[in-house]
């Protein structure tokens, strides 16, 4: 979502300048590639780029093709085959070995539901969305409709289906994407030939709530800001919870434990780290967060600190369930030998990524399977 937000911001600026632009989107990958489907790059007619569709090997050619799209105002589907070992221009620097489909579409500023406008709707809502992008994989000479539809998790729809025969069918498959929680590709027969639709899942931006405003919280905020996460810092001490001590995008609150959740809504993309170094504050917050169904709760300190809290909860006749205990990570972070506050911050953020992505945090060198699941990229074929 960070890349999308940066593209939206850049587009808003070039609109003020009256500049034309095109959006390049990776819509499918066969084999391996540096970026996965959904990677985007905004190309301005003066050569400025925001975002990326590869590690640097495709951007130059994609930019040249985007200039043509901007001038012709017609979308184009471009194929990059990095499996060709005789081609020293594409993918060789990264050892890529895949076929990458990139859709380049002009951004029409007067179209209310142009691709950037649809992405903005997703970024502005704290909910998961599906963006539907239409392209023709079998015949690049046919029309490439592009990014045309938005569906929110509450069922709201923006945009128009560019193929009349798919008017009802696309909605069913978008809902299937919601149910699976994964990107989907579906190929449909149409009167004009085959059409492929990329149903892209766009979750809301991750919200990291840091309970505590000590000096060791500052590198966590800084690193999370680099990742594009939303951050909130909460502390009962007004002397510590001061906005000027943290990244400009960080929200800072002064609150007692029983007041915190009055200001913060919890969803599947909200995670917490207890870093107050105040036993009673952390204990009160831990129990409350478990009752509210927080998905991930990190707590600094040794294991005996957590065990003491759990024993006290038992004595107070308010024990935590097994499911609630599974959401607690204490000591916090992955085992990378962290000692300094910056290293501990890196450890905690890496653990958050691993938990939310359902990974173990092992070295990729020791992973026997591909980094990304190939089966999830299969294109389903629908019948008439």
What CATH code is carried by the domain that includes residue 328? 3.40.50.720
In this prediction, residues 84-110 reach a mean pLDDT of 71
Per-residue confidence (pLDDT) for residue 343, from 0 to 100: 96
On whether both 279 and 356 belong to a single domain, the answer is yes
In this structure, which long-range contacts are made by residues 93-97, counting pairs with CB atoms below 8 Å and at least 24 apart in sequence?
93/55, 93/56, 93/57, 94/34, 94/54, 94/55, 94/57, 96/31, 96/32, 96/33, 96/34, 96/54, 96/55, 96/57, 97/31, 97/32
Q: Are residues 121 and 165 in the same domain?
A: yes
381 inside domain: no
Q: How far is CA 142 from CA 73, 99, 132, 148, 194, in A?
A: 15, 20, 18, 17, 10
Alpha-carbon distances of 132 from 69, 87, 148, 245, rounded to whole Å? 20, 33, 6, 41
Q: Which of 162, 189, 204 is the last residue of a domain?
A: 204
Q: What is the DSSP letter of 319?
A: P
Is 81 in a helix, a strand, or coil?
strand
**91 pLDDT band (50/70/90 cuts)?**
very low
Asked if residue 217 and residue 199 are part of one domain, the reply reads: no
Over range 50-79, report the average pLDDT: 91
Task: Read off the pLDDT of residues 121-142 as tens digits, 9 standing for 90 and up.
Answer: 988 888 899 999 999 988 777 8
Tell me the C-alpha distance between 356 and 369, whole Å. 19
Cα distance between residue 300 and residue 17, in whole Å: 48
Higher-confidence residue of 2 and 67: namely 67
The CA R_g of the chain, rounded to the nearest whole Å, is 23
For residues 18 and 87, membership in a common domain is answered with: yes
Total domains, the chain? 3
Q: Please give the mean pLDDT across all residues of the chain.
A: 89
The domain boundary, picked from 50, 83, 110, lies at 110
Question: Which residues partner with 146 through β-bridges?
Answer: 134
* Alpha helix ranges (H) inside the chain: 2-17, 59-72, 115-124, 169-180, 218-227, 257-260, 279-291, 303-315, 322-325, 341-356
Helix, strand, coil tally for the chain in percent (to 5): 35, 25, 40
* 354 and 221 co-located in one domain: yes
- Residue 190's SS3 state is strand
Residues 213 and 360 in one domain: yes
Question: Is the peptide bond between 331 and the residue preceding it cis, with omega within 30 degrees of 0?
Answer: yes
Q: How far apart are CA 302 and CA 300, in angstroms?
A: 7
Question: What pLDDT shows up at residue 84?
Answer: 61
Residue 131 CB-density burial (10 A; 0-12 exposed, 13-18 middle, 19+ buried): buried
Q: Which domain holds residue 134?
A: 111-204
* Residue 384 per-residue DSSP state: -
Whether residue 142 sits in one domain with residue 70? no
Q: Tell me: do 125 and 160 sit in the same domain.
A: yes
Q: Is residue 370 situated within a structural domain?
A: no
> Residue 303's pLDDT is what?
94
Rounded CA separation 332/313 (Å): 20
- Does residue 179 lie within any of the structural domains? yes
* Residue 160 and residue 226 in one domain: no
| Residue 318 domain flag | yes
pLDDT level of residue 169 (50, 70, 90 thresholds): confident
Could you tell me the strand order of the sheet in which 40-44 lies? 49-51, 40-44, 21-31, 98-106, 76-81
pLDDT digits (tens, 9 = 90+) for 332-364: 999 999 999 999 999 999 999 999 988 888 888
| HSE of 193, CA atoms in CB hemisphere, 13 A | 12
pLDDT at 92: 46
The residues near 32 (Cβ < 8 Å, ≥ 6 apart) are 96, 97, 98, 370, 371, 372
* Domain contains 378: no
Token digits of residue 313: 């909860």
Which residue, of 204, 221, 252, is where some domain finishes? 204
Q: Model-level pTM? A: 0.85
Phi then psi for residue 192, to 5 deg, are -95, 5
d(CA 31, CA 100): 8
Does some domain include residue 379?
no
Tokens of 40: 């985007």
Residue 104: inside a domain, yes or no? yes
Domain assignment present for residue 376? The answer is: no
Q: Mark whether 146 and 229 lie in a shared domain.
A: no
- Same-domain check for residues 191 and 141: yes
Q: Are residues 10 and 141 in the same domain?
A: no
């Amino acid at each position: 979502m960070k890349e999308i937000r940066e593209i939206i911001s850049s587009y808003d600026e070039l609109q003020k300048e009256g500049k034309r632009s095109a959006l390049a989107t990776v819509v499918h990958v066969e084999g391996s590639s540096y970026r996965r489907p959904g990677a985007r790059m905004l190309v301005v007619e003066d050569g400025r780029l925001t975002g990326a569709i590869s590690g640097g090997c495709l951007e130059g050619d994609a930019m040249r093709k985007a200039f043509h799209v901007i001038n012709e105002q017609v979308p184009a589907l471009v194929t990059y085959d990095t499996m060709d070992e005789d081609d020293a221009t594409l993918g060789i620097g990264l050892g890529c070995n895949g076929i990458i489909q990139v859709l380049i579409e002009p951004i029409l500023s007067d179209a209310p539901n142009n691709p950037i406008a649809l992405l903005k709707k997703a970024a502005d809502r704290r909910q998961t969305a599906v963006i539907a992008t239409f392209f023709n994989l079998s015949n690049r000479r046919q029309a490439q409709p592009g990014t045309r539809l938005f569906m929110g998790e509450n069922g709201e729809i923006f945009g128009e289906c560019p193929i009349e025969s798919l008017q009802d069918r696309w909605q069913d498959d978008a809902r299937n994407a919601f149910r699976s929680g994964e990107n989907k590709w579906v190929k449909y027969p149409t009167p004009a030939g085959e059409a492929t639709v990329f149903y892209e899942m766009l979750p809301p931006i991750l919200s990291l709530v840091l309970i505590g405003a000590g000096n060791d919280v500052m590198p966590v905020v800084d690193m999370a800001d680099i990742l594009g996460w939303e951050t909130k810092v909460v502390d009962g001490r007004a002397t510590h919870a001061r906005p000027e001590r943290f990244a400009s995008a960080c929200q800072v609150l002064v609150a007692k434990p029983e007041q915190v959740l009055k200001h913060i809504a919890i969803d599947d993309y909200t995670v917490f780290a207890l870093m107050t170094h105040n036993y009673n504050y952390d204990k009160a917050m831990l129990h409350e967060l478990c009752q509210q169904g927080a998905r991930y709760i990190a707590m600094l300190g040794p294991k005996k600190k957590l065990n003491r809290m759990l024993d006290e909860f038992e004595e107070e006749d308010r024990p935590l369930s097994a499911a609630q205990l599974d959401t607690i990570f204490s000591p916090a972070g992955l085992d990378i030998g962290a000692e300094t506050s910056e290293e501990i911050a890196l450890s905690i953020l890496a653990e958050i990524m691993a938990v939310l992505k359902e990974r173990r945090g092992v070295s990729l060198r020791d992973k026997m399977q591909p980094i990304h699941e190939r089966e999830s990229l299969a294109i389903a074929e629908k019948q008439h």
